[in-house]
């Protein structure tokens, strides 16, 4: 209802809500999003009742369709995250609000859909496993473990997509030339569009987007290894305590999904431009040739999609490995993992 109210208010007031650079939501689209939000709310309420036959199918369809719409709406989340972390300013407050509303809607709808599916299977809505008694007892957390070799290999292979993109940016910031772009031109463009910490980082050869990617890799390693489940020694005061399950999972899912979608579009777009199926991109500073900027689009797609997919693969493994089990309240068994 809050989401619908915001969309209706923006549509009625003619407020500009961008969904990408130089493009905004039309009022009709905002009203459609409001209607979908109300449909999602009705479907959520319906999951609290016993459903059979067509009713079950209608609710399941409504949940899946609206969930997909909200997930697509989170596409700009990583971009806003980087600009906020580097204190570079926000280009559009309404655009940021729209992305945050979509993110909250996607997260809540996912939780409702997950618990609804568990109920339909006869599993506990809380832990996802079948067990006798209500799911309101203490949770038993499994011991810390490492992801399987197959999962680690897949994640490491996917994250290698960062290398061409990060390599080109690092070359420019360290004074080299690549893709027909001179280092001086690149640094001048970055400094002109940056502010505060971002400009200071660029002055010493650090690209904030590469730094953000490094944080993503750090998160990825935590999802794959035991120190992402139990705080390691170097965390000092937290050492030995269990890592709250949602602490790494929320940023992994919220970053992985938008990065994957955005990167996949770029990966497909660049070859279509290079082969002439789509018009060539007109070069703009610091790029001097269409081929150079097309290559950078491809490098960006490989980087974003690679890191996004790697996070999703690792998050899925982490979710499975760390899923706790409900202990029936009448048994009062202690948890196996120290808090």
Determine the average pLDDT of the residues in 124-152: 83
d(CA 112, CA 109): 5
Average pLDDT, the chain: 85
Determine the average pLDDT of the residues in 311-337: 75
Of 45-54, 315-324, 328-337, highest mean pLDDT: 315-324
d(CA 37, CA 35): 5
For residue 313, is pLDDT > 90? yes
Task: Write the DSSP assignment of 277-317 as a string of letters.
Answer: SSPPPPP-TT--SHHHHHHHHHHHHHHHHHHHHHHHHHHHH
Band (332; pLDDT cuts 50, 70, 90)? very low
Report helix, strand or coil for 24: strand
Determine the average pLDDT of the residues in 95-118: 91
| Under 8 Å between Cβ of 53 and 66 | no
d(CA 35, CA 33): 5
- Summarised one tens digit per residue, pLDDT across range 10-66 is 999 999 898 877 788 999 999 999 999 999 999 999 998 887 778 888 998 999 999
Band (180; pLDDT cuts 50, 70, 90)? confident
Distances (CA, A) of 195 to 94, 169, 192, 199, 208: 21, 18, 8, 5, 11
For residue 310, is pLDDT > 80? yes
Which of 92-96, 145-149, 172-176 is the least confident region? Answer: 172-176
Residue 2: CB atoms within 10 Å: 11
Report helix, strand or coil for 16: coil
Identify the residue with better confidence: 327 or 329: 327
């Amino acid at each position: 209802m809050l989401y619908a109210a915001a969309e209706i208010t923006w549509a009625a007031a003619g407020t500009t809500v961008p969904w990408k650079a130089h493009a905004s939501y039309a009022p009709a689209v905002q009203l459609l999003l409001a209607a979908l939000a109300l449909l999602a709310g009705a479907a959520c309420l319906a999951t609290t009742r016993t459903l059979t036959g067509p009713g079950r199918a209608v609710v399941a369809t409504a949940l899946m369709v609206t969930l997909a719409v909200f997930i697509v709406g989170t596409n700009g989340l990583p971009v806003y995250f980087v600009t906020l972390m580097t204190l570079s300013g926000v280009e559009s407050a309404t655009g940021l609000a729209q992305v945050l509303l979509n993110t909250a809607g996607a997260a809540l709808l996912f939780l409702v859909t997950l618990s609804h599916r568990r109920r339909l299977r006869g599993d506990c809505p809380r832990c996802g496993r079948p067990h006798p008694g209500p799911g309101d007892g203490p949770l038993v957390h499994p011991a810390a473990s490492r992801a399987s070799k197959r999962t680690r290999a897949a994640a490491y292979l996917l994250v290698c997509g960062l290398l061409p993109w990060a390599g080109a940016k690092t070359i420019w910031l360290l004074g080299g030339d690549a893709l027909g772009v001179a280092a001086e031109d690149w640094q001048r463009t970055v400094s002109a569009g940056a502010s505060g910490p971002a400009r200071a980082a660029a002055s010493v050869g650090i690209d904030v987007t590469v730094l953000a990617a490094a944080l993503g890799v750090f998160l990825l390693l935590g999802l794959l290894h035991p120190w992402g489940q139990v705080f390691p020694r170097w965390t000092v005061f937290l050492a030995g305590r269990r890592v709250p399950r949602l602490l790494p999972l929320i940023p992994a899912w919220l970053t992985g999904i938008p990065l994957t979608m955005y990167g996949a579009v770029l990966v497909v777009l660049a070859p279509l431009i290079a082969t002439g199926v789509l018009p060539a991109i007109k070069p703009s500073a610091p790029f001097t040739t269409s081929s150079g900027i097309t290559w950078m689009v491809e490098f960006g797609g490989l980087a974003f999609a690679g890191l996004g997919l790697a996070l999703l693969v690792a998050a899925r493994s982490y979710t499975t490995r760390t899923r706790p089990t409900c202990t029936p309240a009448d048994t009062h068994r202690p948890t196996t993992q120290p808090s």
